[in-house]
Structure 1
Amino acid sequence: MRSRSRRWWLARALGRSRLVRRIDRVEAWAVVAGLVVVLVAALYCSTVSDDIYAARSRAIAAEASTRHQAEAVATAASTPDKKAAQQATQRHTVHIQWLFQNATHDEVVKLDHAVKAGDHVPVWLDDRGNATTPPLTDADARADAVGGAILLWILVASTILGGVALLRRVLNRFRYRSWDRGLRWLLVDGGGPGAHHR
């Protein structure tokens, strides 16, 4: 059925049959052109994905060079995080301390497991010795690239297909008006029942 439908659209757009009206050709060309643009947009979005990945990889590499992992020590036993009690993974809050350039730093952090006082806790530090988030990975760069490309393609495709749908709606109105004029001519002006009463 799909192959027949495709051949029908191509026949309407490219064929020379006199049975195909001009408005049908316009509609068919709009559909074919819209599909072509959507396919070309997919190729373009693939290139955009590569560009996003390259940019994110450079940013991640620069970020990773300013962060390093260190060992902190829990100053007390961790406590369950009440705010995260409804989540699938229980979080724990703990106060930790670490040494950076002969200075003691401390902070309250959240872990996905319980610890006791004196336990070692890995912590990511920035260049100033402050606790920070772990650096992103290559997988994060790929996810950003794929996600950005998909969002761009959806935006382009929805815009193109929405424009085609709007055009088809307008053409259908012209088509209905043409049918009305044809029926009026057939029934009134072309020898139909209305013509005999003149």
Structure 2
Amino acid sequence: MTDMNISVARLWRLAPWSGNRLMRRSDRLESLSILFVTLVLAMLIPLAGAVGTSTYTGLSDAARQVRQTNQQVPAVLLGDAPSPQTRGTGMYDRARAQWSVDGTPRTGLIDVDGEIQVGRTVDIWIDPEGNYTEPPSTGAENAFGAVGAALMFWAFGSAGCVLVLLAVHSMANRYRLRCWQREWDSLGQTRGWSLN
């Protein structure tokens, strides 16, 4: 507990408004930049939440619109196990299937989840022209995308804040080293190794 009190007191003495006469302008600028970056990082949290909410709303609206314009129809599988050229990505395989749009038969490659057997009926999504299309995203997929967008926003914002802080620290150090070098030179000492 004592160590924490000492740390808090030390941080308070390093604050930009401190009356410490040993603090230089560069020290005050650096501590002010730390305070500013801390406030920005705190503000990034609700902003990231707003980005996530906005992303979720946009994805949900897009999925709702897909459900309104597209429709689900039954399709009959025409082919067995897929060849390497028709193999899908992820958990799905692709197989040849046939479905009907207003009495007109259509055939094409569709993503199939599970066993591929000739004659098996699966439900697929088609667009208004009757072409096979991806199913609309689910609520869980939308939530996952929204959380990812919020985390990315917060991560990039935090990285930007840290880079600004590092740049200010580097400039303040260079300024302090130049000042120390001038003071060293003003003492009339023979110049040895440089502080720069």
Taking structure 1 as the reference length, what is the TM-score of the superposition?
0.79
Partner of 2:74: 71
Alignment of 1:81-92 (within 5 A): 81-83=83-85, 92=93
Cα 1:119–1:173, aligned 2, differ >3 Å: closer, same or farther?
Answer: same
Residue 80 of structure 1: SS of its match in structure 2?
Answer: coil
Partner of 1:143: 144
Distance 1:96 1:6 in 2: 70
Partner of 1:183: 184
Query: CA RMSD of the aligned region, Å?
Result: 2.8
93-102 or 28-37: which moved more? 93-102
What letter matches 1:180 in structure 2? Q
Cα 1:2–1:164, aligned 2, differ >3 Å: closer, same or farther?
Answer: farther
Please report how far the alpha carbon of residue 61 of structure 1 lies from its aligned counterpart in structure 2 after TM superposition: 0.9
Partner of 1:8: 10
Distance 1:2 1:54 in 2: 44
Residue 69 of structure 2: SS of its match in structure 1?
Answer: coil
What letter matches 1:42 in structure 2? I
Does structure 2 conserve the Cα–Cα contact (< 8 Å) formed by 1:68 and 1:124?
A: yes
Does structure 1 conserve the Cα–Cα contact (< 8 Å) formed by 2:74 and 2:123?
A: yes
User: What does the per-residue CA deviation read over 1:83-107, in whole Å, with 9 as the maximum and x for residues that have no partner?
Assistant: 588x885x54422111221111111
Partner of 2:164: 163
Partner of 2:193: none
Distance 1:84 1:187 in 2: 81
Distance 1:58 1:88 in 2: 25
Partner of 1:116: 117
Cα 1:70–1:5, aligned 2, differ >3 Å: closer, same or farther?
Answer: farther
Residue 79 of structure 1: SS of its match in structure 2?
Answer: coil
Partner of 2:48: 45
User: What does the per-residue CA deviation read over 1:48-79, in whole Å, with 9 as the maximum and x for residues that have no partner?
Assistant: 22222222222211111223322111223x12
Rg larger in structure: 1
Taking structure 2 as the reference length, what is the TM-score of the superposition?
0.80
User: What does the per-residue CA deviation read over 1:23-46, in whole Å, with 9 as the maximum and x for residues that have no partner?
Assistant: 211111111111111211222221
Please report how far the alpha carbon of residue 181 of structure 1 lies from its aligned counterpart in structure 2 after TM superposition: 2.7
Could you tell me which runs of 5 or more consecutive residues in structure 2 were left unpaired when the two chains were aligned.
Answer: 191-196
Distance 1:113 1:133 in 2: 17
Could you tell me which runs of 5 or more consecutive residues in structure 1 were left unpaired when the two chains were aligned.
Answer: 190-198
Please report how far the alpha carbon of residue 9 of structure 1 lies from its aligned counterpart in structure 2 after TM superposition: 3.7
Residue 137 of structure 2: SS of its match in structure 1?
Answer: coil
Residue 163 of structure 2: SS of its match in structure 1?
Answer: helix
Counterpart of 1:27 (choices 18, 22, 30) is 30
Cα 1:148–1:83, aligned 2, differ >3 Å: closer, same or farther?
Answer: same
Distance 2:137 2:13 in 1: 52
Does structure 2 conserve the Cα–Cα contact (< 8 Å) formed by 1:64 and 1:136?
A: no
Distance 1:143 1:2 in 2: 39
